[in-house]
A = this chain, B = another copy of it.
Amino acid sequence: MTIGIYGLGRFGQFWGSLLAKTPARILGYNRSPRAVISSIELVSLEELGRCDCVFLCTAISSMPQVCMTLAPYLAPETLIFDTCSVKIYPTKVMAEKIPLSNPILPLHPMFGPDSANQPDLPLVMCPDPRNNPRSTKLFAAWQQTFTNLGLRVLPMTPEEHDQEAARTQGITHFIGRILGELDLHPSPIGTLGYRKIFEVREQTCNDPWQLFLDLQRYNPYTKSLRAEMDVAFRKLMGTLETLTDDSGE
């Protein structure tokens, strides 16, 4: 069995290192040359397309281009996973641009390089949008593989995922990026709560800026959540402005 990774950025290499715990050979491709960890074997696009399955580990916004680039090299039965942090949009792109013979399983590992040392990490897996006859069997087999890797597989539709992810991952990245704009630092008098928000700041700001933008742009449910945040923020600021300043009393 061969597993291909398309895109060897921070997440792609992390994901490859995790899959290297299976007995499969891990082959990787990156558009531009780059150093990769030893558990991933660098290959050409031709070789990548012949893997039993390929995980797309690229930016959400690059999905159309990536699918079009890869499509001509795909063996007829290669299983395609994406790993995007939104699901409606990439599922639609893959359904359009990947050859019809290839099964597709949209995937979202709800963790990254900075949050992987935890038990029971959730991973969302969506049904094949085109109902390839092989997909049900592949879904079950991969559910088992991921479970063996210590992950908790959550079957979900892309719509369910995006709705839930906007209120969880979306809001977390938004808060983390606001905190990233402030001059904060670890403090000897940091409360437990402060240590938590400081960790969120470090973790989210360590992810690519493109991921943040794409999370907000390609998830149709983040927009209304940002509007809710805006209302909450203004309400709180308004309440505090009405307080008289007694600090110097």
State whether A172 touches B193 (Cβ < 8 A). yes
User: Are B194 and A168 in contact (CB-based, < 8 A)?
Assistant: yes
Q: What is the size category of the interface that chain A forms with chain B?
A: 35 or more
Across the interface, do A111 and B192 meet the contact criterion of CB distance under 8 Å? Answer: yes
Chain B residue numbers with a CB within 8 Å of A233 are: 178, 233
Q: Report how far A168 CA is from B188 CA in the complex, Å.
A: 10
B89 touches A249 (CB 8 A): yes
Q: Mark A152-186, 1 if CB is under 8 A from B, else 0.
A: 00101000010011011101111111110111110
**B177 close to A197 (CB less than 8 A):** no
Q: Which residue of B lies closest to A185 (CB)?
A: B167
- Residues in B whose Cβ lies below 8 Å from that of A226: 237, 240
Q: Which residue of chain B is the closest to A108 with respect to CB atoms?
A: B189
Task: With CB as the reference atom, state the residue of chain B lying closest to A161.
Answer: B189
Q: Quick one: closest B residue to A230, CB to CB?
A: B237
How many copies the complex holds: the figure is: 2
A218 to B246, CA, bound (A): 6
Contact partner of A218 among B218, B232, B247, CB < 8 A? B247
Q: Which of B124, B183, B203 contacts A193 (CB 8 A)?
A: B203
Whether A193 contacts B189 by the Cβ 8 Å rule is no
Does A243 reach chain B (CB closer than 8 Å)? yes
Contacts of A179 in B (CB 8 A): 171, 175
Closest 3 CB pairs of A and B: A181-B232, A115-B192, A220-B247
Which A residues form the contact surface with B (CB < 8 A)? Answer: 61, 86, 88-89, 92, 108, 110-111, 115, 118, 122, 124, 154, 156, 161, 164-165, 167-169, 171-179, 181-185, 187-194, 196-197, 199-200, 203-204, 213, 216-220, 223, 225-226, 228-233, 235-237, 239-240, 243-249
